[in-house]
Structure 1
Amino acid sequence: MATKTDFSPLVADVVTALGGADNVRSVTHCATRLRFKIKDSDKADIAKAGKISGVITAINSGGQHQVVIGNDVPLAYQALMDVPGMRAKGIKDGDAEVDDDGGSEDKNWLNKFIDLISALFSPIVWALAGIGLGKAGLTLATTVGILDAESSTHTIFNAMFDGLFYFLPFFLAITAAKRFKVNQFIALAIVAALLHPTMEAMVGTEGVTFLGLPLTMMSYSSSVIPVVVSVWLAGYLQRWLEKVLPGAVRNFFTPLIVVLVMVPLVLFTIGPVTIGAANALSNGIGFLFETVPWLAGGLMGAFWQVFVMFGLHWGLVPVMINDIATQGFSYMMAPLMAAIFGQVGAALAVWIRSKNAEVKKVAGPGVLSGFFAGVTEPIIYGVNLPLKYPFYAGVVAGGIGGIIIAVGGNAFDAFVFPSVMAFAATLSVGSFVAQLIGSSAALILGFVFTVVMFRKEQNVDKQETDTTPNVAAAASGTYVPLAEIPDKVFSSGAMGDGFGIVPENGEIVSPVEGQLIAVQKSGHAYGIRGDNGIEVLVHVGIDTVKMAGEGFEILVARGDHVKVGQPLAKVDLNAVAEAGFDPTTAVIVTNSKKLEGLKFTDVEGHVGAGDVVMRMEP
C-alpha cells in the first residue's frame, strides 16, 4: 500500500522541473492532479515533468501546470508539502490564493471562472460522490424490496445520505468564504438564517411580509447559486465595515450588520433572482434533453472527457448538483456513463492487444479505476490520448451510447461518479434498460473500434507494421557505438542506451514514430515519445547548442506526430565544421532502463536513415 514517503522523490523532481519552489506561486490538488500556478512559465519545463517516473502526464491548461498522478494524488500532495519551500504554497479545501507578487499570471475570464468553480466544489466533491453512492444504494434497496420505504430504518439511512445535500449551503458557505476571504462564521450565520426551520415553514405561505414589505418565501435547502453570490457580496460589505468601524465595536458590529443587511437582501433580491436563473437553466437543459435528446446525449457522451481534459467540466458540475438538489435528478449526468465506458472499453482493447509492457502496466489498473470508480485520467493520459486512435474510438462510442441513454429519458437522482457502481442512481428516472444498453454499447463499441483501428494501425499501405518497439537511424552515415560518441554524458550511458551516427548529409529524420515532446529553438535537439513506448533524444552534433541555431533549419514543431524517417531538420554540415564542432548525431533511448530486451541489430559501418538499429526482443 502506497504512503506519502513513496512519492517524495517524484514530487521533488516535479518541483525541480517546474523551476523550483521559488517559481511556484501556489499548488492544490483535485481528484487525480496536482495543480500548480507558476510565476515564470519560461522557467518551468512541463514536458520534463511529464516524463518523471510515476507521473501519468503533465499539461498546461486552465492557467495551471497540471501534473496527473492518479488516485493517490492526496499522498503525493502530502509529500509535496514536505519539499523545502513548498508548505507555504499549499492551498487546501478551497482556500483563496494569496497573491504576493502582482497577481495571477492568467487573466482569461474563462480560466478564472473554472478556477473559481474548482475551488468551491473540489473540496467537497469526494464527499458528495461517496455519500451520493450511498443514496443511490438506498434507492436500489428500496426498489428491489430489501428495505421498506416507510420504515424508521429507511428514514435514518435517508438522513445519513440526504443530510449533506439538504445542508449543502453550509458546506458551500465554508468554501466560498475561503475563496472570497470572508469570515467563515459570518458566512455560516447568513446561511443558518436562510435554513432556519421557521423560515422553511413559511415557504409557500401567503401574506408573508418583512418590515411591512410583501415577501415571497423560497426554500434555500440544497441551494447552490444563492449561497455563492451571497457570500461573495458579504465579503465586500465585511471588508468595508472593517475599515470604517471603530476598533472598539468592530469585532461584534461587523457580523451583526452583515447579517442584518445580507439576509433581507437575499430574501428580497438575490434569492429570487438566482433561484429563478438556476431554474431557467435547468428547464432549458431539460427542454433540450426532452426535445432533441439524441443531440444532447450525444454531445455529453462524446465530449465529456474532452471537457475534463481542459478542466471545463467544473463549469457543469454546479448545474448538475443544482438540478439534483432542486428537482431531484440531472439529465446531464446519465450520458456521462457512456463517456466513461467508451474510454474504458478502448483502454481495455489496448491492454489486451498491445505488446508494450509500459502501456499494459498503465492500461490494466486504469481500466479497473475507470470501470469501478469513474476515474479515467490514468487511461486517458497514459494510454488512449498518447495513442490517439483509442481516444477517438472512445469519443465515438461514448457519443453513440449517450444518444441511446438520452433517448431513454434517463437521469441520475444522486451526484455520483459515473461508473458501474452508479447504476443504482439511474433507477428512478427514465428507462433503466436504455441506461444499461447505452452504457454497455459504449463499452463494447469502444473496445471494438479500438481493435479495428489497432489492426489498421498495424497495416499501413497493406504492409504489416512491426509493432515491436524499434529505434532507427536518424541520419544516413557512419554508425558509432555509444561508448565512442565524443561526449562523456552520452558515451557513459548516463542518459540511456543508444548510438551515434556521423551524418553524410544534412537531413536528420525521426528514429521512431511518435509525438515530439521537445524541440530546441537552436534546432540541435529533439525529444520524441514513441507510440511504441520508447522515448528518444536526437542530439545533432556535439556542443552545437553554441551555434544558437546558425546552420539549422527546423522542419517540425513541438506536439507534431512524426513517422519513422520523417525529416526533423536540415543541417548545414559545412557550417558545423567551420564552427569547429563535431557533427556526430546521438540517438539516445532515455527510458532504456525500463525497457527489457532492447538489443542492437547486427549493424556496423554505413547505415541509412530509417534503418532499424535497435530492436526489442521478446
Structure 2
Amino acid sequence: MNYSQLAKDIINNVGGKENVNSVVHCITRLRFKLKDESKANTEVLKNMDGIVTVMKSGGQYQVVIGNHVPDVYKAVVEEGGFQSAQPVDADDAEKGNLFNRFIDMISGIFTPILGVLAASGMIKGFNALFVSLGWLDDKGGTYQILHAIGDALFYFLPILLGYTAMKKFGGTPFLGMVIAMALVYPALEGIPAAGDPLYTLFAGSVFESPVYIEFFGIPVILMTYSMSVIPIIVSAFFATKLEKFLAKVIPSVVKMFLVPMFTLLITIPLTFIVIGPIATWASQLLGQATVSVYGLSPVIAGMFVGGLWLVFVMFGLHWGLVPIAINNFSSQGFDPILAVVFAHSFALAGAILAVWIKSKNQKTKTLSAPAFISSIFGVTEPGMYGIALPLKKPFIFTIISSAIGGAMIGYFGTIGYVMGGLGVFQLPSFIPPEGINMSVIGAIIAAAVGMVLAFVLTYFFGDINKNNTNTGEGTAQPIAATAEQNVKNEVIVSPMKGQIKKLAEIEDTAFASGALGKGVAIEPAEGKLFAPVSGTVSALFPSNHAIGFTSDEGAEILIHVGMDTVQLDGKHFTAHTAQGSRVERGQLMIEFDVDAIKEEGFVLTTPVVVTNHNQFEITAVNEQEVKPEDLLIELKAN
C-alpha cells in the first residue's frame, strides 16, 4: 500500500493540515483533534481503501486504520509537517500523574545519550585497567588520547543534555546547547585561578562562595559546570518557557533571530547568577545524601537495590536512580548505586543457563542461548521477558541471587568511578585511581556467587518443565487440544474475569462491525488481563490500554481494554510485559483500576478479536460469565 498517498488523502479530507490541532495514534486508529469537524469529508474517508471506518468520540475525530496504523501515522506526520510522536498543539501535552511525568521526562532526556555515555565510560574504564596492568604509561601519548576520547563526553556532558532537555521540553535544541556551551566556556571557568576574589558571599555558612566577577553590578558565583547534570536541565526548562513566551509577543518578521537572541540574553545570565548556583548546591546535597544513606548500611543498600533492580527496570523506576548516579559522578566523583546492581545480569545469566540445559522445550532452549549471552553483556530484557518471567521461579531466584550479590558488593565497598558499560563491561569502571584493589575483586566474587546461586536454585527448584506443552512432555495440556490436532488450529482462553457480550452490542462501531476482527467482548469484573495464548506480544501501546498477540499457531489477537481509554494516557494501567516479549498462556500482562477508570467516565467493555480471522473458522463460547483460562474462542484453520 502507498502510505504516502493515503496520508495525503486523509489530510485533505480532514480539512487540510490547517484544520488539524493535533494528531496522535493508538493501536488501531489515528486520533485527530480538528478545529472544525464540519470541514471533514467523513463519508469520503469511510469509503477510502486503507481506512476501516471513521468515528467521532471523546472530542476526537478518529480514522480507524487497523494494524498498519503506525505506518500510516508516520506518513501523515511527514506529509502534514506535524511533530512526530507529539501533538501539534502544545496544550495537548502528555498527561499523567506527577511521578509518571517525572520518569518520562528523565528517560526522554537521558535515553538518547545512554549508548555513547556507556561507551565513553567503558573507554575510560579500560584505560584505567590498562594502566593498572602496566600495559600503558599514564604520562604517555596513547593514554592521553584514550583518556580524551573517554573523558570528552563527561566534561562536555551539559552540552548534550542541553540538546536533549530542550528537545524534551519542546524548545529549540540548539539553544540548549549554546546555554551549556556558555556554562563550560573555558575563559569563565579559568577566572577563579587567575586572581583574588572581589568579596565573599554567605561567609561562614555551607554556601560560602567567593565572587570574582559581577554582571551589571550583580554578583556572579562561578561554579564548575563541566560534568554537571542538574543546572543545565533546570536552565533548559526555563529557557523553553521563555522561548515560547517570546515567540508569542515578538512580531513574526523578526521572530527568527530576536527570539533566540533574547532567550540567550536572559537565560544565560540568570543561570550564572541564580539557577546555576542553586542547582549546583542542590546536586551536591543530593549526592551527599545518597552517599550518606548508602553509608548507613552498604550491605542492606546493596541487597535492596541490587535485588530489586530488575523489578525497577520492569516498571521504569530505574529512571529515578540513573540520573542520581550520573549526578553522583559529577558532584562526588564516584557512585555506589550502579555498582551494587552489577551482579544482577550475571544472576539472570545463571538462571537462563540452567533453563537452557534442563528445559525439554525446544523453543525455550532456542531462546535461552542468545538470552544468556546478552545477559552476560548486561542486556537483560530478552532473558527477563522471554525466559525468567514466563517461568516465574527463575525470575524469583534471580532476584534472590541478585540481592545476595548486591549485599556482597556493598560489603566489599565497591563503587563506580565512571559511568561504565553494562554486564562484564561495567567491571573496569570500578577500578580506582590507585589501581585494582579488593573492592574490584569483591565485585567479581559477588557476580560469580550470584550467577552460581541462581543457576543452582533454578536447575534444582525452578520447575522448568512443569508447564511444558511444546513437546508434549509436561503435565499441563492446552484446553480442548489433542495430539491429533492440526498445528494451525488454535484455542483462545479468556484473558480476564467478566461477563461475555457480543461484539455487535458494544458502543465502538469499529469493533462492533467486525471490521477490526472477529471475536467477543468482555465486561471485566476485575482489573487483570492475562495472556490468552502462548506466543509473542506483537503490540503494546504506550498507554498500556491495548495489547496484541501472535500465537505460536499463527493467530493474531487484539485486546482493547475499554472504549477510548487511550485518552487516559496510561493512567490507572500497569503493564507487566513489553512488546516483542515471549509470553505463556495465563501470564499476567496488564493490571488496571476498574473503579478509577469508571469514575473517569470511561466504559470498560473489552473486545477480544482475531484480526486475521479470514484464515480461520471461528467458534465463540455461549457462556455468560468467564474467568481467566476458561475456553473463549476456538479457531479451526481454513
Same fold (TM over 0.5): yes
Q: Does 1:103 align with 2:92?
A: yes
Distance (Å, rounded) in 1 between the aligned partners of 2:163 and 2:260: 16
Q: 1:396 to 1:101 in 2, by over 3 A?
A: same
2:220/2:273 contact within 8 Å kept:
yes
User: Which residue pairs with 2:488 in the alignment?
Assistant: 496
Distance (Å, rounded) in 2 between the aligned partners of 1:80 and 1:153: 52
2:499/2:625 contact within 8 Å kept:
no
CA displacement 1:23-76 (0-9 Å, x = unmatched) = 699xxxxxxxxxxxxx999x9xxxx99xxxxxxxxxxxxxxxxxxxxxxxxxxx
Q: Which amino acid aligns with 1:206?
A: P
User: Which residue pairs with 1:319 in the alignment?
Assistant: 324
Distance (Å, rounded) in 1 between the aligned partners of 2:265 and 2:290: 36
User: Which residue pairs with 1:391 in the alignment?
Assistant: 395
User: Which residue pairs with 2:404 in the alignment?
Assistant: 400
SS at match of 2:462: helix
User: Which residue pairs with 2:418 in the alignment?
Assistant: 414
SS at match of 1:299: helix
Distance (Å, rounded) in 1 between the aligned partners of 2:413 and 2:432: 11
Report deviation, 1:360.
1.3
SS at match of 2:245: helix
In structure 2, the gaps of 5 or more residues are 1-24, 34-56, 199-211, 502-519, 522-529, 536-550, 554-583, 587-607, 610-616
What RMSD in Å do the two structures reach over aligned CA positions?
Answer: 4.1
Report deviation, 1:127.
0.7
Question: How do residues 188-227 of structure 1 correspond to structure 2 at under 5 angstroms?
Answer: 188-203=177-192, 206-207=197-198, 208-210=212-214, 211-227=216-232
1:190/1:259 contact within 8 Å kept:
yes
User: Which residue pairs with 1:182 in the alignment?
Assistant: 171
- Which residue, 111, 117, 120 being the options, matches 2:106? 117
Q: Which amino acid aligns with 1:392?
A: I
- Which residue, 459, 472, 478 being the options, matches 1:451? 459
- Which residue, 534, 552, 555 being the options, matches 2:624? 552
Q: Which amino acid aligns with 2:73?
A: G
- Percent identity, please: 31
SS at match of 2:625: strand
Distance (Å, rounded) in 2 between the aligned partners of 1:251 and 1:18: 35
Q: Does 1:380 align with 2:384?
A: yes
User: Which residue pairs with 1:522 in the alignment?
Assistant: 500
User: Which residue pairs with 1:137 in the alignment?
Assistant: 126
1:519/1:527 contact within 8 Å kept:
no
Report deviation, 1:96.
7.3
Q: Which amino acid aligns with 1:269?
A: V
Q: Which amino acid aligns with 1:438?
A: A
User: Which residue pairs with 1:367 in the alignment?
Assistant: 372
Distance (Å, rounded) in 1 between the aligned partners of 2:293 and 2:187: 37
Distance (Å, rounded) in 2 between the aligned partners of 1:354 and 1:18: 38
Q: 1:148 to 1:546 in 2, by over 3 A?
A: closer
- Which residue, 263, 267, 281 being the options, matches 2:272? 267
SS at match of 2:500: coil
User: Which residue pairs with 2:39 in the alignment?
Assistant: none
1:294/1:403 contact within 8 Å kept:
yes
Report deviation, 1:219.
0.6
Report deviation, 1:243.
2.2
Distance (Å, rounded) in 1 between the aligned partners of 2:300 and 2:221: 37
Q: 1:449 to 1:132 in 2, by over 3 A?
A: same
User: Which residue pairs with 1:276 in the alignment?
Assistant: 281
Q: Which amino acid aligns with 1:409?
A: G
2:495/2:532 contact within 8 Å kept:
yes
Report deviation, 1:520.
7.4
1:128/1:164 contact within 8 Å kept:
yes
User: Which residue pairs with 1:158 in the alignment?
Assistant: 147
SS at match of 2:477: strand
Distance (Å, rounded) in 2 between the aligned partners of 1:393 and 1:529: 25
Report deviation, 1:187.
2.2
Q: Does 1:468 align with 2:474?
A: yes
2:352/2:455 contact within 8 Å kept:
yes
- Which residue, 75, 85, 97 being the options, matches 2:73? 85
Q: Which amino acid aligns with 1:305?
A: L
1:298/1:401 contact within 8 Å kept:
yes
Q: Does 1:168 align with 2:183?
A: no
Report deviation, 1:280.
1.2
User: Which residue pairs with 1:424 in the alignment?
Assistant: 428
Q: 1:349 to 1:212 in 2, by over 3 A?
A: same
Distance (Å, rounded) in 1 between the aligned partners of 2:306 and 2:281: 28
1:340/1:370 contact within 8 Å kept:
yes
Distance (Å, rounded) in 2 between the aligned partners of 1:156 and 1:472: 61
Q: 1:427 to 1:474 in 2, by over 3 A?
A: same
Distance (Å, rounded) in 2 between the aligned partners of 1:404 and 1:467: 40
Q: 1:536 to 1:212 in 2, by over 3 A?
A: closer
SS at match of 2:73: coil
Report deviation, 1:586.
7.1
User: Which residue pairs with 1:70 in the alignment?
Assistant: none
CA displacement 1:543-592 (0-9 Å, x = unmatched) = 87596xxx533233xxxxx7xxxxx38xxxxxxxxxxxxxxx976699xx
Q: What's the TM-score, normalizing by structure 2? A: 0.64
Distance (Å, rounded) in 2 between the aligned partners of 1:96 and 1:196: 34
SS at match of 2:421: coil
User: Which residue pairs with 1:353 in the alignment?
Assistant: 358
Question: How do residues 271-310 of structure 1 correspond to structure 2 at under 5 angstroms?
Answer: 271-310=276-315
Report deviation, 1:161.
0.9
In structure 1, the gaps of 5 or more residues are 1-16, 26-38, 50-78, 460-465, 483-492, 500-509, 557-561, 563-567, 570-584, 591-618
Q: Which amino acid aligns with 1:448?
A: V
Distance (Å, rounded) in 1 between the aligned partners of 2:141 and 2:90: 57
Distance (Å, rounded) in 1 between the aligned partners of 2:479 and 2:171: 62
2:306/2:343 contact within 8 Å kept:
yes
Distance (Å, rounded) in 1 between the aligned partners of 2:141 and 2:337: 33
Distance (Å, rounded) in 2 between the aligned partners of 1:348 and 1:191: 46
- Which residue, 226, 234, 237 being the options, matches 2:242? 237
Q: 1:498 to 1:219 in 2, by over 3 A?
A: closer
Question: How do residues 531-570 of structure 1 correspond to structure 2 at under 5 angstroms?
Answer: 551-556=623-628, 568=630
Structure with the greater relative contact order (CA < 8 A, sep ≥ 6): 1 or 2? 2
2:302/2:410 contact within 8 Å kept:
yes
Number of matched pairs: 462
1:95/1:119 contact within 8 Å kept:
no
Report deviation, 1:20.
3.3
SS at match of 1:471: coil
User: Which residue pairs with 1:3 in the alignment?
Assistant: none
Larger mean CA deviation between 226-235 and 315-324 belongs to 315-324
Q: Which amino acid aligns with 1:166?
A: Y
CA displacement 1:276-333 (0-9 Å, x = unmatched) = 1111111111112222101111111111111111112122221111222233221111
Distance (Å, rounded) in 2 between the aligned partners of 1:544 and 1:301: 48
Q: Which amino acid aligns with 1:471?
A: Q
